[in-house]
């Protein structure tokens, strides 16, 4: 049985169709990148995986069971911005999840439990390269460091699924490369299943194990919202030939233009 | 060069800021001198001498009848009322505001009431307070609470709702329950904003305090001002007004400093 199963999934807001007839099966430990024009439902799909949105029709299953209807500790998330808590230092940000889990009322750890948790936090910070900044406030960090922090904060919970919503969209290209290396390293270490939404087709083309292209098959020029998007390409990474890249790029850009028109 | 691009230097900015104060003092002292030259017993625009004499009498000499130092007694009485009223209002605002901001069910239940209450003119219900709570301390404190709490409640709820939705999702993915969302996310981030709300509410709080004291009291800064008004004692009223202003400025600045010290992340642009 596959880890995540999507059967005939539809998402509509009133007349507006976002996703139509989505079918997908993902094994545990896969790293899927989701690309496509804006408004093609990548983020909506991610929100459904997160439990923030529910489908209009169809099935979304996690190991054969329906997805929980609200976010929980098994599904970590990193947004493009605002993923870390500004009132906590770097160390406290990463410690937070462990504290919340162990102390439902106080939400704070003390004594030996705290020391133990802090050791884990230290190791986590080390692996994302934030040890020197452990006592800083988030606003003192660069954009890339804030995203590292957000990833560390999620991964310390050992989530079964890690969802990334354009996590590197606001970063400089140089920093982005470093973040890719870090992400691949963490993925290999933890073996968690990752879904990453990105605008950057190139990013999607070589990061991870599987590329999912969200695009509209049908288009009504008079009513751009009439048809939803679906997965038009589902490719294992490695099959990175130039022609395919051009094809996808052209199709996605065309949809983007139609959306904007 | 355009006017909008003319920036004063440090020294000239300070001088420009002082200028209006000096002008007011100058105009006042000229007018006062003129009236006192006409009539040395003029009460309307007392000079510096009369005012210092009045302050000396009120603050540094025992009252002949009661044996108290009236100005200090008035000050402590007023500050106690103000502190209690604003303290209670801020606590209420914190609880109701956070619940309103975080829990949709409570918001649906309470937000309309809070909005309606914040529209009631507090002075219009002062008579009700006097009737219900009597003429003692309680009704004066209650006036401040009723006058400032609803607006602060709305402000706190609004601040909670302004926290990025991403944070709310994030903390849920870290396993937080509703209580933890309040105690570890909403409360600590809203505290510095509450202090800002209190600073803004102090103006109205003083207004309600002085109004209540003017109507029914036996001590307090507002009481004294309205008492000596009968004798046209501008030499007491003016120093009292200046003293109240100084108190208000000091309280405001203390809160501002406390905010900076207690929440370093807040003032450094961390929100």
Same domain, B97 and B194: yes
Same domain, A53 and A112: no
Q: If you average pLDDT over each of A4-18, A217-231, B247-261, which comes out highest?
A: B247-261
- pLDDT of B271 > 60? The answer is no
Last residue of a domain, one of A128, A158, A188: A158
Same domain, A163 and A147: no
In a domain, A82, yes or no: no
Query: Given the structure tokens 């870090």, which residue do they identify?
Result: A182
Residue A261 banded pLDDT, cuts 50, 70, 90: low
Out of A228-237, A251-260, B162-171, pick the least confident. Answer: A251-260
Sign of the Cα pseudo-torsion (A217, A218, A220, A223, in order): negative
Out of A103-107, A153-157, B50-54, B229-233, pick the least confident. Answer: A103-107
Residues with Cβ within 8 Å of residue B254, at least 6 apart in sequence: none
Q: Determine the pLDDT at residue A225.
A: 74
Last residue of a domain, one of A118, A143, A158: A158
How many Å apart are CA A208 and CA A238, to the nearest integer? 9
Mean pLDDT across B149-160: 95
In a domain, B56, yes or no: no
Q: Are residues A51 and A68 in contact, defined by beta-carbon separation less than 8 angstroms?
A: yes
pLDDT tens-digit map of B188-208: 999 999 999 999 999 999 999
In a domain, B53, yes or no: no
- Could you give the number of structural domains in chain A? 2
- Could you give the number of structural domains in chain B? 2
How many Å apart are CA B206 and CA B75, to the nearest integer? 12
A57-62 and A31-36 strand pairing? unpaired
Size of interface A-B (CB pairs under 8 A): 90
Mean pLDDT across B158-180: 95
Q: Determine the pLDDT at residue B93.
A: 97
Q: Is A17 left (phi over 0), alpha (psi -120 to 50) or beta?
A: beta
Q: Determine the pLDDT at residue B28.
A: 95
Out of A8-12, B96-100, B248-252, B265-269, pick the least confident. Answer: B265-269
In a domain, A69, yes or no: yes
Q: B162, B167, B170, B195: which to substitute to probe chain A, counting the most A Cβ within 10 Å?
A: B170
- pLDDT of B20 > 90? The answer is yes
Same domain, B19 and B138: no
**Chain A residue set in contact with B, beta carbons under 8 Å:** 50, 52, 70-73, 75-77, 79, 81-87, 96-97, 99-101, 104-105, 107, 137-140, 150, 153-154, 157, 159
How many Å apart are CA A25 and CA A39, to the nearest integer? 23
Q: Determine the pLDDT at residue A40.
A: 81
Residue A65 banded pLDDT, cuts 50, 70, 90: confident
Distance from CA of B172 to the nearest CA of A (A): 6
Cβ within 8 Å, pair A154-B268:
no
Cβ within 8 Å, pair B266-A87:
yes
In a domain, B161, yes or no: yes
Same domain, A96 and A131: yes
Could you tell me what percent of chain B has a pLDDT over 90?
A: 86
Higher confidence at residue A230 or residue B12? B12
In a domain, A144, yes or no: yes
Same domain, A96 and A209: no
Mean pLDDT across A174-187: 88
Q: Determine the pLDDT at residue B75.
A: 96
Sheet with A75-78, strands from edge to edge, namely A65-66, A57-62, A4-13, A16-26, A229-236, A210-216, A31-36, A193-197, A161-165, A75-78
Mean pLDDT across A197-216: 84
Scored b (16 or more CB within 10 A) or e, A217-256 reads eeeeeeebeeebbbbbbebebeeeeeeeeeebeebbeebb
Range of the domain at A191: 4-74+159-260
Kindly report the pTM of this predicted structure: 0.87
Range of the domain at B23: 1-34
Same domain, A254 and A149: no
Q: Whole-number mean pLDDT of chain B?
A: 93
In a domain, B65, yes or no: no
Same domain, B144 and B192: yes
Q: Determine the pLDDT at residue A1.
A: 63
pLDDT tens-digit map of B23-79: 999 999 999 999 999 998 888 899 988 999 999 999 999 888 888 899 999 999 999
- pLDDT of A255 > 80? The answer is no
Q: Whole-number mean pLDDT of chain A?
A: 87
pLDDT tens-digit map of A107-130: 888 989 999 999 999 999 998 999
Q: Are residues B172 and B217 in contact, defined by beta-carbon separation less than 8 angstroms?
A: no
CATH number at residue A205: 3.40.50.300
Same domain, A103 and A152: yes
Alpha helices in chain A, H assignment, sequence order: 42-50, 90-102, 111-128, 143-155, 173-190, 201-206, 242-260
Q: Determine the pLDDT at residue B178.
A: 94
Nearest by CB: B175 against A52, A77, A101 = A101
Mean pLDDT across A8-15: 87
In a domain, A80, yes or no: no
Total number of residues shown for chain B: 271
In a domain, A81, yes or no: no
Could you tell me what percent of chain B has a pLDDT over 70?
A: 99
In a domain, B41, yes or no: no
Same domain, B123 and B2: no
Judge residue A152's burial from the number of C-beta atoms within 10 Å of its C-beta, 0-12 exposed, 13-18 middle, 19 or more buried: buried
pLDDT tens-digit map of A29-40: 999 999 888 878
């Amino acid at each position: 049985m596959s880890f995540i199963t999507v059967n005939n999934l539809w998402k509509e807001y009133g007349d507006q169709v976002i996703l139509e007839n989505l079918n997908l099966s993902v094994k545990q430990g896969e790293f899927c990148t989701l690309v496509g024009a804006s408004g093609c439902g990548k983020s909506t799909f991610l929100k459904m995986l997160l439990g923030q949105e529910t489908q209009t029709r169809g099935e979304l299953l996690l190991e054969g069971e329906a997805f929980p209807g609200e976010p929980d500790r098994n599904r970590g998330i990193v947004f493009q911005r605002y993923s870390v808590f500004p009132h906590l230092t770097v160390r406290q940000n990463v410690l937070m999840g462990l504290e919340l889990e162990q102390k439902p009322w106080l939400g704070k750890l003390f004594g030996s439990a705290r020391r133990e948790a802090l050791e884990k936090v230290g190791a986590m910070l080390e692996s994302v390269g934030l040890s020197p900044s452990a006592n800083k406030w988030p606003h003192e960090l660069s954009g890339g460091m804030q995203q590292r922090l957000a990833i560390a904060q999620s991964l310390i919970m050992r989530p079964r699924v890690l969802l990334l919503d354009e996590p590197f969209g606001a970063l400089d290209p140089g920093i982005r490369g470093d973040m890719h290396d870090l992400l691949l390293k963490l993925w290999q270490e933890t073996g968690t299943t990752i879904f990453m939404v990105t605008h950057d087709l190139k990013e999607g083309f070589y990061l991870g194990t599987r590329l999912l292209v969200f695009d509209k098959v049908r288009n009504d020029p008079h009513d751009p919202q009439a048809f939803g998007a679906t997965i038009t390409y589902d490719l294992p990474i490695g099959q990175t030939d130039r022609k395919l890249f051009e094809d996808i790029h052209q199709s996605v850009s065309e949809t983007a233009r139609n959306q904007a028109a | 060069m355009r006017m909008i691009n003319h920036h004063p230097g440090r020294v000239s900015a300070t001088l420009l800021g002082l200028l209006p104060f000096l002008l007011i003092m100058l105009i006042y002292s000229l007018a006062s001198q003129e009236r006192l030259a006409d009539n040395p017993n003029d009460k309307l625009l007392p000079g510096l001498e009369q005012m210092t004499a009045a302050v000396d009498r009120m603050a540094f000499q025992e009252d002949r009848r009661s044996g108290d130092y009236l100005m200090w007694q008035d000050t402590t009485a007023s500050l106690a009322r103000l502190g209690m009223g604003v303290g209670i209002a801020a606590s209420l605002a914190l609880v109701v505001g956070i619940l309103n901001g975080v829990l949709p069910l409570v918001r649906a239940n309470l937000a309309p009431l809070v909005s309606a209450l914040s529209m009631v003119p507090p002075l219009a219900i002062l008579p009700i307070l006097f009737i219900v709570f009597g003429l003692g301390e309680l009704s004066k404190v209650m006036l401040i609470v009723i006058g400032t709490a609803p607006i602060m409640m709305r402000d706190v709820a609004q601040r909670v709702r302004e926290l990025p939705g991403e944070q709310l999702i994030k903390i849920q993915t870290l396993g937080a329950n509703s209580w933890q969302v309040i105690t570890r996310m909403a409360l600590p981030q809203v505290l510095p904003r509450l202090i800002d709300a209190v600073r803004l509410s102090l103006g109205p709080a003083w207004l309600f305090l002085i109004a209540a004291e003017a109507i029914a009291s036996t001590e307090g800064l507002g009481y004294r001002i309205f008492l000596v008004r009968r004798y046209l004692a501008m030499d007491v009223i003016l120093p009292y007004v200046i003293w109240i202003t100084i108190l208000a400025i000091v309280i405001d600045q203390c809160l501002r400093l406390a905010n900076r010290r207690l929440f370093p992340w807040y003032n450094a642009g961390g929100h």
